Amino acid sequence: MDWGMKNRLARIFNQKSQRTVMLAVDHGYFQGPTTGLKRPRETVTPLLPYCDSLFVTRGVLRNCVNPSTNTPIFLRVSGGPSVLGELSNEDLTTSMKEALKLNAVGVGLSIFVGEKNEDRTISNLGKLVNEAEEYGMPVLAITAVGKDMARDARYLGLACRIAAEIGAHMVKTYYCSEDFEKVVEGCPVPIVIAGGKKMPEKEALEMSYNAISKGAVGVDMGRNIFQSENPVAMIKSVRAVVHENYSVDEAFELFNKLKSERVVSSVVE
Ligand code: R5P
C-alpha cells in the first residue's frame, strides 16, 4: 500500500481505538432537503469537531462547510436518481480529480445488490477502485440501500462480500440483530454501519454498541445524530461507545447528562 493510501486511512481511523465515527450528511443527494438537513451549515458546524470524518457531497461541502476545518472529508461520489425514481440507477457523479482538489480522505459510492441496476453499480465500484488506487484514495462501498431487500445477515453478507471482492477498502452497511458477526466474518475489509431511520437515542446507542461488539469498526451515522433532540450530546455519546467502549447504559447516561448541561447553560445565558 502506498504512503498516500496509508495516510488517508490513518486519518479516517482514530489512532488509539482504530475505530471511526463518521457523520453522514449526504442524504440530500437523492432525498432533497430532509429533516435535520434543511440548512446543512447549521446542522454540520456544531458537529464537525466531534466526527472523525464528514461524509458529504461536494455541493454541501463547497457551500456549507468552512474550508478551514481540520475534520477529514469523505466524499460521496455517486448519485443520479431522486427519491421519486429508480434508486439503483446510480452512476459516478464526481471525478477523482475533484476528490483530490477537495482534499478528500476517501470516496464513497453505493452498490445495489439484488436491485435493477445491480451489475452496473458493481461495475461502477470496480472502475472507481481502479482509479482511486492510482491516487492512494480509499473507497467506501455503501451496500444494502435497496428499498425492498430483507436486511438480514444472508443478504448483507452477500452485498458486503461482493463490495470487498471488487476492491472496496471499507464497506458501509446496515446492522442486523441476528448473525451480524457473520456479515463481518465474511467481509475481509472493515465495516461501518449506517444508522438508518431515527429511533430513540438509547436504541441507537445500543445498535452502535452491538455492531462494535460484533466486529464493526465504527459508524457512518446520520439521522440518529442530526435528528436527535440534542445532536452534540448524541455524537459525543456515540463516540464514547465506539472509541471508549462505554456500555449502552453508560453512554445513555452520558447523553442525558450532556443534554441537561445544555439546558442548564442556556438558562444561565
Ligand atoms: C444514504 O442516504 C447515505 O448513504 C447515508 O449516508 C447513510 O444511510 C447513513 O445515514 P443514516 O445513518 O441516516 O442512515
Q: Whose CA is nearest to atom 6 of ligand 1?
A: 24
What phi and psi, each to the nearest 5 degrees, are found at residue 219? -130, 150
What phi and psi, each to the nearest 5 degrees, are found at residue 79? 175, -165
DSSP per residue over 144-182, as a string?
---SS---SHHHHHHHHHHHHHHT-SEEEE---SSSHHH
pLDDT, mean of residues 152-156 = 93
* Any atom of ligand 1 within 6 Å of the Cβ of 36: no
| Ligand 1 atom at minimal distance to the Cα of residue 27 | 2
Which residues are known catalytic residues? 172
How sure is the predictor about 151, in pLDDT bands with cuts at 50, 70 and 90? confident
**Tens digit of each residue's pLDDT (9 = 90 or more) over 25-54:** 999 999 999 999 999 999 999 999 999 999
**Tens digit of each residue's pLDDT (9 = 90 or more) over 50-96:** 999 999 999 999 999 999 999 999 999 999 999 999 999 999 999 99
* Any atom of ligand 1 within 6 Å of the Cβ of 28: no
* 237 touches 50 (CB < 8 A): no
Distances (CA, A) of 184 to 170, 179, 194: 11, 9, 14
Q: Whose CA is nearest to atom 9 of ligand 1?
A: 194
Cα separation, 174 vs 143, in Å, equals 8
Give residue 250 CA to ligand 1 midpoint distance, Å. Answer: 25
pLDDT, mean of residues 166-180 = 97
**Best residue for ligand 1 mutational test, from 107, 142, 203 (most atoms within 8 Å of Cβ):** 142
pLDDT reading at 149 higher than 80:
no
* 174 touches 159 (CB < 8 A): no
- What fold, for 3-268? TIM Barrel (3.20.20)
* Any atom of ligand 1 within 6 Å of the Cβ of 76: no
How sure is the predictor about 147, in pLDDT bands with cuts at 50, 70 and 90? low
Domain residue spans of the chain: 3-268
Give residue 268 CA to ligand 1 midpoint distance, Å. Answer: 36
Give residue 55 CA to ligand 1 midpoint distance, Å. Answer: 9
Give residue 200 CA to ligand 1 midpoint distance, Å. Answer: 17
Q: Whose CA is nearest to atom 1 of ligand 1?
A: 27
| Ligand 1 atom at minimal distance to the Cα of residue 24 | 6
Give the pLDDT of residue 145: 65
pLDDT reading at 238 higher than 50:
yes
Q: Whose CA is nearest to atom 8 of ligand 1?
A: 194
Cα separation, 27 vs 9, in Å, equals 24
* Any atom of ligand 1 within 6 Å of the Cβ of 142: yes
Give the pLDDT of residue 262: 64
